[in-house]
A and B are shown apart, each in its own frame.
Chain A
């Protein structure tokens, strides 16, 4: 074997921006400023909803249904703020899928819920057994179906099993949300703090990449899953029932919270996550965030309402385009660093 070492330097372009980052400082600042507080807010909302659900079945009235619907809205607000974080305790025990089984293109959750209601097996509703049921019946999507149907009031009044199911889901959500928040505070923060000791993470920089993935990858998902998959090629072809939270008429409210949360995830804390990118890029990226937020602000919270008008449709299309532009800004900025979010892991074979 002859060694023919070529002049490779001509072919290679090195990173333009050399980081002088204390990765652990960034990771912990973000954890303390955003991650743990936001999970705590979510857990608090889920606990309040569970409290609301307790006793709900003794007398279902328009008033009590409205109250638990409001508690659901607050809990969903809390979940949307942390939905983009797909590493750490949320990955334990299938917690992420048990909290929310979505997208559900085949309507699996609805079918499982109907089957459960038809079966009327009350033993599955104990907290121990309920945690082992199909993920499709355990979380926010199933609860939304029970609470936000046109016939919800009549059905919950007539069928005590449905009502008990509301309580079981609310208790389950409370337990999971509390578990995630607690594990972040008690355990995973320590895992992040000691990332350089090579336990779960290879290094503190490796941990930072998980935070960056939680920032960047969801922007593409928001664009594709939460907007483009619904709006299709034309207003006539739009399919609102593919939207997240269409029943509770808050699909666009979700998007507004998602983007605001990502914005905070990028900029909050000291040192903020934005310090790992070249400083000259930050203003442009923040302008990108502002652009998406301004576009979304023109829209109502309900996707159904937005899709009724040509201007609403056009604005949604604009929001998808703004998200795509923001994604590309972040991607271009990352290219100047030696931080790689994935290659085989994103598009393997």
Chain B
């Protein structure tokens, strides 16, 4: 069976009263393109583009990567994408959006590594990565690096032009705010060194933060910290809506039995709002949120919990979790016009429609033997072909 719908009763009612309209993200009759990094059973690593069709998930391209990757950022204007190495990797792979071919691999300097995330400016002329100045084992070693885009498609290139402090340690995901001038940075707070792979070297003295900086000057505009009792909650993943409200997903590095908020929201000028799921769900989240994305309505959002094998759905306005579904190793999420596409580390690709709660499995595809990495990216159709 290639196509399998399962009814999820109740979920839709809680999230949306009426089905969402078809948005610009998905023109009539066109299936959007999704991008994700993945690994296979032979420990080979790939970036893959695929679409969801009536016949299941159809691969559009599958290109080899040097190592395991993390997030993929898309530049529609210049027709390319950037695959960012998973920490503590040191490369960016640039791919032609028209063919999926990797056209260039860029290495960061020997005393830097990336964290798997990057973001473009709205005009597509600049790219920003979070990096670590890892030989600095005392100070705020987090960096935000500015890259200039040149060329397009198969001729595209990135030039490293400037570094700003991230105002913390271990920066992870970063966002472009709706003003197109401000970058929001999740400073995870975890000090690492490539000589110790991914080990947390400062578990007792972590100071995670959310920092807002000017993308042109690097000026620190605002910074928010967690209460001391939650200082081991590493701020990792975020999303922002059109009104500038940020949602935050955290990963707790402290004692496994503590009940600690893993989700928060923030609006500039206000305090962080820390959110808890109902106790029976909170405990099953296993202190780990893997990916955060707003729904199309900019109000509801998903926090994926791959360790707890769940996707949790929240209302950012009311600050409450409204529902959850079991999803074994489910992590990659992105908004579609009707809900969320999601991917799992067990090789599943699926879609949940929020109005109805229907989950569509894209089974038996050519892509089944891939373990999807943490993040899923949707390419908006229609801008460049």
Contact = CB atoms under 8 A, between A and B. Distances in A.
Most buried by A among B41, B86, B344: B41
Report whether over half of chain A's contact residues are helix, strand or loop; otherwise say mixed.
loop
Contacts of B366: 8-9, 12
B61 interface: yes
Contacts of B275: none
A196 to B, nearest CB: 11
Interface residues of B, number: 54
A241 B70 CA distance: 39
Given A1-B381, A202-B326, A6 B257 contact: no
B369 interface: yes
Given A13-B42, A135-B257, A345-B345, A4 B61 contact: yes
Contacts of B327: 202
B223 interface: no
A342 B100 contact: no
A62 B146 CA distance: 72
A344 B331 contact: yes
A3 interface: yes
Q: What is the interface residue range for chain A against chain B?
A: 35 or more
Given A4-B99, A13-B42, A342-B345, A349 B326 contact: no
Interface string B161-196: 000000000001000000000000000000000000
A74 B281 CA distance: 34
B85 to A, nearest CB: 11
Contacts of B61: 4, 6
A8 B59 contact: yes
A279 interface: no
A1 B385 contact: yes
A344 B373 contact: yes
A97 B33 contact: no
A200 B381 CA distance: 37
A348 B218 CA distance: 30
Nearest to A12: B369
Interface string A330-349: 00000100101011110011
Given A1-B385, A340-B347, A344-B374, A8 B62 contact: yes
A349 B116 contact: yes
Contacts of A338: 347, 368
A335 B41 contact: yes
B215 interface: no
Interface of A: 1-6, 8-9, 11-15, 91-92, 94, 97-98, 108, 135, 198, 200-202, 206, 209, 335, 338, 340, 342-345, 348-349
5 contacts: A1-B33, A5-B58, A91-B283, A344-B329, A345-B345
Interface of B: 6, 33, 39-42, 51, 58-62, 70, 86-87, 97-100, 116, 172, 236, 251, 255-257, 283-284, 288, 290, 306-307, 309, 326-329, 331, 344-347, 366-369, 371-374, 379, 381, 384-385
